[in-house]
Chain A
Amino acid sequence: MSIKLRLFLILALSTGLVWLSAVLWIEGSTRAQVEKVLDARLSESANMVSSLISDHRIEVGDAASRPATITMPASGDYSRQLSCQIWSLRGDLIGASSGAPSSRLAGREGFASSQIDGEEWRVYSVRNDDLGVTVMVGDRVSVRDNLVYDVVAGLLWPALVILPLLAVLIWISVGRGLAPLERLETALRARSPSDLSPLPAGKAPREIRPIRRALNSLFSQLERVRRTERDFTAFAAHELKTPLAGLRMQAQIARQARDDDARAKALTAIELSVDRTDRMVRQLLDLATVEGDENPPERFDLSDLCVEIAASLRQPAQARAVQLSCDISAELSLATNRFLLFAALRNIAENAILASPQNSKVRLAAWQDEGEVIIQVTDEGPGIHPDDLPRVTDRFFRGRATPFQGSGLGLSIAAAAVIRLHGSLTFPTYDKGQTVEVALPV
């Protein structure tokens, strides 16, 4: 349900409810007032008739004759609705107003209610001991109801006209009240998906401002993410196009070369370039997977993982005659995302192997230390230049002293994976080679 409809219904229903209770209240109080006034009139009329009889200004018959006709004192329409009976104390009807019922109106003195011919009556009786008569004046309750109904109807008719008018006004007002929201909606709908600029700063109601702020902050975050992605794509394209340019150049050289030696050299360069491009594509995929991987943690032995890494790096290790050793206790196990840790350690170890001199060693060691598992990869290479350390995990950043042409992604992947494992990646300095340390919470 739209906010507009919801607001409209709430306002319309509550307005209707207020009107209804006002009508009920007025009806109640009108009825009480009418009863009071009419009761007073009843007793007044009865007493007046009684005193008129005493003064002989009204003649009443006796028991034998027909009852005399009494003319009620005139006072507006209502008087005609009154009926009067005069009974002798013996129980004979000796006088009645025209239209009064023939049966006795009430059985006792004072106010009484009675049923006559199926109709409800309100009666006041007064006893005139001097003349030995009882005067009864009464009116039909239905007449009283009509009076109250007239008052209430007088109120209800204008309400029936006013309520729809009010509904229209409420509908328009709600619409106007929600106009800022609608403007926001229109502004958002009109945007192209690529438009992440902040919303126009103009005036806005207090309730809209937080929404605008939240949206703007979301937009700027999205913009940042998109820029990072765009930069990343541009970098990736550059990094892939460079080896492609090398491949094409070497292929042309191979075709144009006049001697076999030059051709063989160009073909070797092509192979090397294909290997490196392949590695870069694998690392780009690794990076994407590391950032999106949602595998649940599982428990595994670290030494098994290490053996697996060593197996996957056999080829580059053999090519440089690098010996990869695992120095990990067989009992050391971890409960974490196995894929992420594998990706991190594999890339660190691969970098270590590629940075190693011929015939050297790369050592993988791990131990537990006060709620942390420390894993170190140490090589005997030249190490990372101290000036490069702050940027070494940046994507596509290659150190200035790299003896090999890496993609600049290995340590970025490791860093991304370690962050997702809530661990830390550091580069402790020792006197020889380069050590990369991964610390993971247990």
Chain B
Amino acid sequence: MRLLIVEDDPVLSDGLCVGLGMAGFTTDPVTTLADASEALQTGDFGGVVLDIMLPDGSGLDLLTELRSRGDRIPVLLLTARDRVRDRVLGLDAGADDYLGKPFDLDELSARLRAMLRRHEGRAAGLIAWNGLSLDPAAQTGRLQDRLLNFSRREFAILHALIEHPGHILSKSQLEERLYGWQEEVESNTVEVHIHNLRAKLGRDFIRTVRGLGYRLAGEDGT
């Protein structure tokens, strides 16, 4: 899951990128509202971690702007101002969740997963498809009582596909989910990861749609 991190403090921003990366998220950091606004218009993000006090204004303004133009992207506000009134203000401005500084990395990851899950319309923590049950918190899967371990990138691809099982995702769409801006995209990696996934899940679990991309096989075997 790819997240946009809007935080101007370099140590915290770095910590968020590394820490959330360890929890299975792909992250892109920006430090100003202007950069955040631009990134949201061009990039494909699953969610936003947004600080309120930023050098060029309030994160709440960005949030209001997003909601007013109909963008439903999940947003978690991250701020030191965590009195009830601030929380109410933030949630009413359109935030999906609110976390006061300083916070626990595991709690932040869990809240982000819950937020994204709700956004996808799921209540359960596990995602199930075709006999596979996927656990985003542990980054593991279970197929017919067999525990499967995935690498971070394998899991990210599988997670992307299982969110919308019938949809076809192109190679570049998958790459975007895999890499932050600073990371160099290696050619053929998507193919390599798909190959590894098929080895773990069975040949027919992921279908290649020639010229378009990949999708999961339907539960009826199509």
Contact = CB atoms under 8 A, between A and B. Distances in A.
Interface of A: 234, 237-250, 252-253, 256-257, 262, 265-266, 269, 272-273, 276, 398-400, 405
B133 interface: no
Interface string B10-29: 11101110110010000000
The 7 A-B residue pairs whose C-beta atoms are closest, nearest first, are A249-B15, A246-B12, A241-B80, A246-B11, A238-B80, A245-B102, A245-B101
A245 B105 CA distance: 10
Interface residues of B, number: 27
Interface in B206-222: none
B180 to A, nearest CB: 16
Contacts of A243: 9, 11-12
Contacts of A405: 9-11
A327 to B, nearest CB: 34
B125 interface: no
B67 interface: no
A272 B101 CA distance: 18
A440 B101 CA distance: 42
Contacts, number: 83
A244 B11 CA distance: 10
Given A252-B106, A398-B8, 5 more contacts: A243-B11, A250-B11, A253-B22, A262-B18, A272-B11
- Tell me the dominant secondary structure on chain A's binding face: helix
A248 B19 CA distance: 11
B103 interface: yes
B104 A238 contact: no
Contacts of B15: 245-246, 249-250, 253, 266, 269
20 contacts: A238-B79, A238-B81, A240-B80, A242-B101, A245-B12, A245-B102, A246-B15, A248-B102, A248-B104, A249-B105, A250-B14, A253-B15, A253-B18, A256-B105, A272-B11, A273-B11, A276-B11, A398-B8, A405-B10, A405-B11
Residue from B15, B80, B102 whose CB has the most chain A CB atoms within 10 Å = B15
Contacts of B103: 245, 248
B38 interface: no
Given A234-B81, A400-B55, A244 B101 contact: yes
Contacts of B106: 252
B18 to A, nearest CB: 5
B114 to A, nearest CB: 19
Contact of B19 (A237, A252, A398): A252
B80 A237 contact: yes
B145 interface: no
Interface string B93-104: 000000011111
A266 B15 CA distance: 8
A249 B56 contact: no
B140 interface: no
Nearest to B15: A249
Contacts of A265: 18
Nearest to B102: A245
B104 A244 contact: no
A99 to B, nearest CB: 106
B12 A242 contact: yes
A249 B80 contact: no
Contacts of B10: 405
B64 interface: no
A50 B11 CA distance: 134
Given A238-B79, A262-B18, A400-B56, A252 B105 contact: yes
Contacts of B79: 238
Given A238-B53, A242-B80, A253-B22, A269 B14 contact: yes
A241 B102 contact: yes
Contacts of A269: 11, 14-15
B32 interface: yes
Contacts of B81: 234, 238
